[in-house]
Amino acid sequence: MSRTIPARRGRPSAAPLPQRRISFSLRLKRISRAWQLYVLLAPALIYIGVFKYWPMYGVQIAFKNYNPADGFTDSPWVGLTHFIRFVNSYQFGQILGNTLWIAVLGLLVAFPIPIVLALLVNQLQNERFKKFTQTVLYSPAFISTVVVVGIMFVVLSPRSGLVNNAIQLAGGEPVFFMGSAEWFRPIYVISDVWQNAGFSMIVYLAALAAIDPALHDAAKVDGARSSSASGISICPASCRW
């Protein structure tokens, strides 16, 4: 005779506990316990607030006929008048063309160079020379844009610049690079690559450092050369980055 087992009844779900509101004095007490952390965090918060969020208040100038005497709040609104005038100006086509050309050149030149530098530096065996190379390539990132422009003026000077001196030694005529419109885009892209390629290289080096060296050794065991082994092991493993 079969015995019927009664079904177990589930326990009734407990009612959700009401959330306790933390008083202001308790919040202050918690902050006072970890005040060192908040002191360390304060400079970053102040920097973000002053230089990132506060300037957003000035975006309204683009939609107003701004007058310094009236300030932000009392200047009259003009809507999209300034944008329409800019689009209809005779310089809009040239400005848009320069922007697109610089973006394309930056993508074609500035994107692969840091990757190539990271792969080359990653192959260096001497640790001291490797660190020295990283420092030399990364140091231009600490130079301000104003200083970079000054360096470009000195290096490309038609009278005493290193580039024009090399051109004259080769039998050519000096070129006024900074005063020629056709040289604007190459100079801009080259200076940007020189200044920022080192920083991007460090990012890619960090990605390469996370790759298991056993992949490189396995490629060598399979008969790949040193250069081929690097590509075989590094490229697939770095795709997740």
- Domain residues of the chain, as ranges? 30-85, 91-209
Element (H, E) at 167: helix 162-169
A 10 A CB-CB count for 206 gives 11
The domain made up of 91-209 is a member of CATH 3.40.50.970: no
Task: Provide the pLDDT for residue 6.
Answer: 53
Token pair of 80, please?
């999209």
**Which one-letter DSSP state was computed for residue 139?**
G
Q: In the chain, what percentage of residues exceed pLDDT 70?
A: 78
**Comparing C-alpha atoms, which of 137, 99, 100 is closest to residue 118?**
137
Torsion sign, CA atoms 43, 140, 113, 93: positive
The parts of the chain modelled with pLDDT lower than 50 are 1
- Regarding pTM above 0.75, the answer is no
Token pair of 66, please?
């701004």
